[in-house]
A = this chain, B = another copy of it.
Amino acid sequence: MQRSLFKVEYSEEEESMAAFAKAISHPVRIKILKLLASQECCFTGELTELIPMAQSTISQHLKALLDAGLIQGEINPPKVRYCIKSENWLKACHIFSDFFKPDQPLCDCPI
Main secondary structure of the interface of A (DSSP, over half): mixed
Q: How often does this chain occur in the complex, in copies? A: 2
Assess the B93–A111 pair: CB atoms within 8 A.
no
CA distance A4 to B106 in the complex (A): 42
Chain A residues 80-111 with CB under 8 Å of chain B are 81, 83-84, 86, 89-90, 92-94, 96-97, 99-102, 104-107, 109, 111
A52 touches B8 (CB 8 A): yes
Residues of A within 8 A of B (CB): 4, 6, 8, 10, 14-15, 17-18, 21-22, 24-31, 33-34, 36-37, 39, 41-42, 51-54, 72-74, 81, 83-84, 86, 89-90, 92-94, 96-97, 99-102, 104-107, 109, 111
